[in-house]
Amino acid sequence: MKDDLAETSPGQPVEWYLGRDGQLYGPLSDVEMTKFRELGHMHMTDLVWREGFANWMPAAAVFNFARKKTAW
């Protein structure tokens, strides 16, 4: 799996693509992908790809879906 997470060239903007329910979305920037995750719009089962990935991967294998704890 490490090969699937290969780095892109330094200084190049990353373009992400997202697949869900047979639809393809993108390109999305790192900032857009971060916001998409933070707002809870990304599903753990979504497939994601960017240059350097050997294959499409489940979002859960690429991104941290940990929820922030809320103080009551």
Tell me the pLDDT tens digit for each residue of 6-52.
555 667 889 999 999 999 999 999 999 999 999 989 999 999 999 99
The residues pairing with 23 across neighbouring beta strands, listed in sequence order, are 20
pTM for this prediction:
0.74
Q: Burial of 43 by CB count in 10 Å (0-12 exposed, 13-18 middle, 19+ buried)?
A: middle
57-66 average pLDDT score: 88
- The structural domains of the chain, ordered by start, are 2-62 (3.30.1490.40)
Question: What is the helix, strand, coil percentage profile of the chain, to 5?
Answer: 25, 25, 55
Question: How far is residue 65's CA from residue 43's CA, in Å, rounded to a whole number?
Answer: 9
